[in-house]
Structure 1
Amino acid sequence: MSVFLPRGRHLLADFHGVAAGRLGDAVAIEALLRAAADAAGATPVAGHFHPFGPGLGVTGVLLLKESHISIHTWPEHGFAAVDVFMCGAARPDKAVEAISAALAAGSVALREIARG
């Protein structure tokens, strides 16, 4: 009988009750995801962040050697959806903790999926 060892951990985090001012700045969101990658021990290789305009959200992805972190924000709803998928020795839970601290959400719903 073989033992299942996942190739990676995929964390899905929904942040509710976030101040709108924390969710609309693409430059700040990119810096946040890069800091989260660093906290997780992951290595960024490329990123792309798209702002939708004043008062609107940001969609972004930070590609990592270990996989990716993505974010979609809705300032008008105080909501951010974050995807953290990492393999190897990287710690996706540490990335989520860093993002959570920076966004100061009223509540966080977190799900984990073992991949592979």
Structure 2
Amino acid sequence: MDVLGRHIIAELWECNLEKLNNIDFIRDTFVEAAVLAGAEVREVVFHPFAPYGISGVVIISESHLTIHSFPEHGYASIDVYTCGDKVDPNIAVKHIADALESSVGQFREIPRGMGPVNAKPIQKIK
């Protein structure tokens, strides 16, 4: 492996508004995403905001998955960071985008820990 970690920053638009404000759905989706990607879940913390929106984190042995949802904009900011080479953060991001029914999504993968940042080009989530 030529990097210590893989960090994906994803922008999800035109998401299902109800799902973006459903803390149980988002928590379950993020735990599922971590497991599907091959991660070991350690801690799970999600917090709802009034009148709407959710922020949360799934701490994994290999790092973390986070969300900040903005139902009023149909938008979610997603962050998936994994260390090592056994976890695929792309699987987690795709699962989250599909679950939130995002019709417009982009992500950028940033290799971490091995010198100057050499971010991959922005890609559409398919």
Q: TM-score range by the shorter chain?
A: over 0.9
**Percent of residue pairs identical:** 39
* Structure 2 letter corresponding to 1:84: V
Q: Does 1:64 pair with 2:46?
A: no
Show structure 2 runs of 5+ residues with no match.
Answer: 114-126
Displacement of 1:53: 2.9
Matches within 5 A, 1:7-86: 7-54=4-51, 56-86=52-82
User: Which ranges of structure 1 fall in alignment gaps of 5 or more residues?
Assistant: none
Secondary structure of 1:104's aligned partner: coil
Amino acid at match of 1:11: I
Which ranges of 4 or more aligned residues in structure 1 deviate by more than 3 Å? none
SS of 1:11 mapped into structure 2: strand
Q: Distance in 2 between matches of 1:20 and 1:96?
A: 18
Output the aligned Cα RMSD: 1.1
Residue type matched to 1:79 in 2? Answer: Y
Normalising to structure 1: TM-score of the pair? 0.93
Which has the higher relative contact order, 1 or 2, with Cα contacts under 8 A spaced 6 or more apart? Answer: 1
TM-superposed deviation, 1:109: 1.1
